[in-house]
Structure formats: C-alpha cells, structure tokens
Amino acid sequence: MLSVRNLSLAGRFHDVSFDLRSGEILGFAGLVGSGRSNVAETLFGVTPATAGQILIDGKEIAIKTPGAAMDAGLGFLTEDRKESGLFLLLDVMENMQTAILRDGFTRAGFVRESEIEGLCLQQQAKLRVRTPDLYEPCLNLSGGNQQKVLIARWLMTKPRILILDEPTRGIDVGAKAEIHRLISELAGQGVAVMMISSELPEVLGMSDRILVMHEGRMTGIVERKDANQVKIMELAAQ
C-alpha cells in the first residue's frame, strides 16, 4: 500500500526505504534521536522530504503538506498529545471533528453539527472514551482518554494508512491494552499501520515486522519470528 524509496530529510535522516502492506503493523524502533519521528513527520508532509520517493498503491505521490497526506489516505497520531495533538481547552467533540471538517461537513460556511455529533458519539462508544459528555474540555480527561480522543479524530477520516507515534505513552495499563486491541482490529480491517514506540516489549508484541534506525539511518528490518530484544538493541546501537 505504501512504498518509501531512499527517503531523506537533510540533517535528520537519509536513505530510508521500506514497504507497508495492507493489514500490516510495521514497528519502528531505535534510540531517542534516531530519526523515527522525523520519518513519520516527513511522510505526513509536516517536514517535506529533500530526496526520495513516496508511492501509494504503486504510484508516486508528492506529499508536501499534511492536507496532501490526508487526501492520500494517511492519518498521523503525533508523539506528544498535549504539545502537537490536542486543543486542550476545547471540548471532546471539537477535538474529534477537526480532521473531517474539510470533507464536506460544512455548508455555506456553517458546520453540520448534528451529523458530526452523531459520528463523535459513535467513536466515543467504540473507543470507550470516559467523559461526562462531548462538551467536556479535553484538559479534564485522563491521559488515556485524551489519547482515545486523538485516535477517534483520525478514525473518523477513515485512513488507509495510519501512522502512530508513541500511541501509548503516558497512559495507564488498562487504556494501553484497549489501544493495543484497537490497533490490532484496524490492521485486521486492512488498515496499514506504522507504529513508532520507545517501548521494546510493545514493538515486539504488536509488530509484524520491525524497522530499526540509528542516528538517521536504517540499520535493518526484522521479521516478527526473528525479533527479540537483543537483536533490536544490536541494530539500534550500530
């Protein structure tokens, strides 16, 4: 579904190549500063590539803005939900709806609130977002529920390719298990998932294959059956 060929961002990473298939979870591992998040941001058009190719369904595509990435079927859960994900002072529904307003949910400058509210209620039930109602400020939710609100935002766009950067960072064990289950369900429905995590047990437990990076370069891609903590750490330190 997604092919990346010699993707580079000057000063950050270089010559990253991989394929991501429908229904696959491709884990990204590496030490802090290895360039994993930079690759995700480049794929989503936050920091456009300086070299290389991005192909979707075998056709090369130029992704220079997040809007172009969304038009191509990508969704991107950022690493820091408070700094680059949520609008903390806005309510749950306002946070969930931000990515779909561009998809025909406005008419003559007005938002079709009743339709959007119905979609948000569906996501709240599906993801078990614990909140008094959709009008509760996200600032008042627990970390796990804040993360679910962000995931709901991207699920509402019906992405074909979903990039998850640290999807369970700073949340409790119960919420983490729920998010793991959701990621597996999405893959089972054919979504191609790219998952970045600093937690090796999470990467090993969730991924079909694991791409390892060190200081801005790929050091290997490991199949699930061959992956273990020693192998991944050896590649991450090369």
Rounded to whole angstroms, the Cα distance separating 206 from 191 reads 14
> Is 95:138 a contact under the CB 8 Å cutoff?
yes
Instruction: Kindly list the domain boundaries of the chain, sorted by start residue.
Output: 18-236
137: helix, coil or strand? strand
- pLDDT number for residue 170: 86
Residue 105's pLDDT band, with cuts at 50, 70 and 90, is confident
Amino acid letter for position 121: L
Residues 6+ apart with CB under 8 A from 84: 78
Model pLDDT for residues 13-56, shown as the tens digit of each residue: 999 999 999 999 999 999 988 999 999 999 999 999 999 999 99
> Is 74:159 a contact under the CB 8 Å cutoff?
yes
| Burial class of residue 226 in the structure, from the number of CB atoms within 10 Å of its CB (0-12 exposed, 13-18 middle, 19+ buried) | exposed
Model pLDDT for residues 65-95, shown as the tens digit of each residue: 999 999 999 999 998 888 888 999 999 999 9
Residue 103 pLDDT > 80: no
Average pLDDT over residues 99-110: 75
Residue 112 pLDDT > 90: no
Residue 197 pLDDT > 90: yes
Class of the CATH-defined domain 18-236: alpha beta
**What stretch of H or E contains 54?**
strand 51-56
Residue 87 backbone zone (phi > 0: left; psi -120 to 50: alpha; other: beta): beta
- pLDDT number for residue 238: 77
Residues 6+ apart with CB under 8 A from 185: none
Most confident of 19-23, 110-114, 117-121: 19-23
Q: Percent of the chain beyond pLDDT 90?
A: 84
Average pLDDT value over all residues in the chain: 93
Q: For 58-132, where are the E strands, in sequence order?
A: 59-60, 74-77, 106-107, 110-111
Here the tokens at position 15 are 């010559």
Residue 132 pLDDT > 80: yes
> What is the reported pTM?
0.92
